[in-house]
């Protein structure tokens, strides 16, 4: 059962624009998956041809069907094999000739895959198509850390003044006021947490901003930052794909309702700097799996949100923060001796 929560969750695998005419290999929870696009939309199969086990992602899409590179068996959108070139035409295609089909959606500018039989609903992110708001995608960032460690780092208020000093926080304003964490409509949400911003969004204006954090799923979280006396809203949604037991891919959606006519690049560059500041810390954390036993580490009141996150993972039965993965059969990169 422990596996089901994540198995039935949606995992972001690539930026939608990056899926063109060719199929693409991705990993989800240790599972090798091929995604492809045809006129009906996007599709995900286990990346394995039932004939001789070749990766279907080596093939191509022809007339909307995924064609294996090895002996050109053709699979339609439903995973049914509709053509076997080596088969004399009077013989029927065996019923067993099918690909394993997973759920796949294009949503929020990303491609999402769900391996489960009872897929959870997709997360909600209403800002994405709200008028007057603009969203850009940052990443994907490749990280050697477990997904809950990455989500927890995103939810951690008290690091802003140190890891991101001079950008998102100031060491002389390091105190975190008490805040509330509530569970409403299936997600955690905090009250406003004021943080002194020396250089909010790279725009060099010092002052306090209020952060409201939300945990939307075990591998997706967001915050919205506002400033008193201003209508400006800035939201970051982070969503993490646990590709296998040690590799994750992180996507971030940055949404703003101001400077809509200004270029996106400075926002992306600022976020890249922030992310790489976090990376060294997150990849250094031991144990690699988030400890769900609250006795294992020390907690302050300012850690209320990450404590709630750990308790929730524990309740969901995501034991020890482990993302349970199948033994991965990820191909090791060949090293060419020169």
Q: Which does 144 bind (CB under 5 to 8 A by kind): Co ion, ligand FES, none?
A: none
- Tokens 């060294």 belong to which residue? 280
Q: Footprint of Co ion on residues 264-323 (CB under 5 A)? A: 278
Instruction: Indicate the residue among 24 and 164 with the shorter CB distance to ligand FES.
Output: 24
Q: Which does 73 bind (CB under 5 to 8 A by kind): ligand FES, Co ion, none?
A: ligand FES
Instruction: Indicate the residue among 162 and 183 with the shorter CB distance to Co ion.
Output: 162
Q: Using the rule CB under 6 A, which residue among 13, 19, 34, 49 binds ligand FES?
A: 49
Q: Using the rule CB under 6 A, which residue among 70, 107, 133, 312 binds ligand FES?
A: 70
Total of residues contacting Co ion (CB under 5 A): 1
Total of residues contacting ligand FES (CB under 6 A): 8
Instruction: Say how far apart CA 270 and CA 259 lie, in whole Å.
Output: 15
Instruction: Say how far apart CA 146 and CA 321 lie, in whole Å.
Output: 8
Nearest to 248 by CA among 158, 338, 174, 154: 154
Q: Which does 70 bind (CB under 5 to 8 A by kind): ligand FES, Co ion, none?
A: ligand FES
Residues sharing a CB contact under 8 Å with residue 194, sequence separation 6 or more, in sequence order: 177, 208, 209, 210, 211
Question: Is 42 a binder of ligand FES (CB under 6 A)?
Answer: no
What is the DSSP pairing of strand 207-217 with strand 193-197? Answer: antiparallel
Question: Is 55 a binder of ligand FES (CB under 6 A)?
Answer: no
Cβ distance 253 to 237 under 8 Å? yes
Q: Which does 282 bind (CB under 5 to 8 A by kind): Co ion, ligand FES, none?
A: none
Nearest to 309 by CA among 190, 225, 192: 190
Cα torsion 70, 329, 100, 242: sign: negative
Instruction: Say how far apart CA 65 and CA 261 lie, in whole Å.
Output: 41
Minimum distance between the CB of residue 59 and ligand FES, rounded to whole angstroms? 8
Q: Using the rule CB under 6 A, which residue among 17, 40, 52, 266 binds ligand FES?
A: 52
Length of the chain measured in residues:
338
Minimum distance between the CB of residue 32 and ligand FES, rounded to whole angstroms? 14
Nearest 5°: the CA angle 31, 276, 260 is 95
Q: Which does 278 bind (CB under 5 to 8 A by kind): Co ion, ligand FES, none?
A: Co ion
- Verify cis geometry, omega within 30 degrees of 0, for the bond prior to 287: yes
Instruction: Indicate the residue among 74 and 243 with the shorter CB distance to ligand FES.
Output: 74
Instruction: Indicate the residue among 52 and 301 with the shorter CB distance to ligand FES.
Output: 52
* Residue 312: both structure tokens together: 């929730």
Q: Using the rule CB under 6 A, which residue among 10, 73, 141, 179 binds ligand FES?
A: 73
Question: Is 124 a binder of ligand FES (CB under 6 A)?
Answer: no
Instruction: Say how far apart CA 139 and CA 79 lie, in whole Å.
Output: 31
Q: Using the rule CB under 6 A, which residue among 2, 17, 18, 71 binds ligand FES?
A: 71
Question: Is 68 a binder of ligand FES (CB under 6 A)?
Answer: yes
Question: Is 51 a binder of ligand FES (CB under 6 A)?
Answer: yes
Stretch that binds ligand FES, among 45-53, 130-138, 181-189, 271-279 (CB under 6 A): 45-53
Minimum distance between the CB of residue 22 and ligand FES, rounded to whole angstroms? 16
Q: Which residues of 280-319 are buried (b: 16+ CB within 10 A; e: fewer)?
A: eebeeeeeebbebeeeeeeeeebbbbbebbbebbbeeebe
**What is residue 277's three-state secondary structure?**
helix
Could you list the residues that contact Co ion (CB under 5 A)?
A: 278
Could you list the residues that contact ligand FES (CB under 6 A)?
A: 49, 51-52, 54, 68, 70-71, 73
């Amino acid at each position: 059962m422990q596996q089901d929560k994540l198995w039935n969750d949606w995992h972001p695998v690539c930026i939608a624009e990056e899926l063109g005419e060719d199929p693409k290999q991705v990993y989800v929870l240790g599972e090798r998956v091929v995604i492809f696009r045809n006129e009906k939309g996007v599709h995900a199969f286990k990346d394995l041809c039932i004939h001789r086990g070749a990766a279907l992602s080596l093939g191509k899409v022809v007339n909307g069907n995924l064609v294996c590179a090895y002996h050109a068996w053709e699979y339609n959108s439903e995973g049914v094999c509709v053509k076997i070139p080596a088969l004399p035409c009077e013989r029927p295609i065996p019923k067993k000739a099918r690909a394993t089909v997973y759920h796949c959606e294009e949503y929020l500018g990303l491609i999402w895959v769900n391996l489960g039989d009872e897929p959870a609903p997709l997360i909600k992110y209403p800002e994405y198509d709200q008028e007057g708001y603009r969203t850009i995608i940052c990443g994907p960032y490749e990280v050697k850390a477990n997904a809950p460690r990455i989500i927890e780092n995103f939810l951690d208020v008290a690091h802003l003044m140190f890891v991101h000093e001079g950008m998102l926080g100031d060491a002389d304003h390091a105190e975190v006021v008490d805040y509330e964490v509530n569970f409403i409509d299936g997600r955690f949400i905090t009250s406003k947490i004021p943080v002194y911003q020396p250089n909010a969004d790279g725009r060099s204006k010092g002052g306090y901003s209020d952060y409201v954090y939300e945990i939307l799923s075990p591998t997706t979280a967001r915050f919205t930052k506002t400033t008193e006396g201003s209508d400006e809203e800035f939201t970051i949604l982070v969503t993490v794909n646990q590709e296998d037991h040690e590799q994750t891919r992180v996507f971030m959606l940055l949404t703003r309702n101001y400077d809509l006519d200004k270029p996106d690049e400075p926002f992306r560059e600022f976020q890249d700097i922030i992310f790489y500041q976090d990376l060294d810390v997150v990849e250094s954390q031991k144990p690699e799996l988030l400890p769900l036993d609250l006795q294992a580490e020390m907690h302050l009141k300012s850690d209320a949100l990450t404590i709630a996150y750990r308790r929730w993972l524990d309740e969901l039965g995501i034991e020890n923060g482990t993302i349970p993965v199948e033994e991965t059969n990820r191909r090791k990169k060949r090293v060419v001796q020169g």
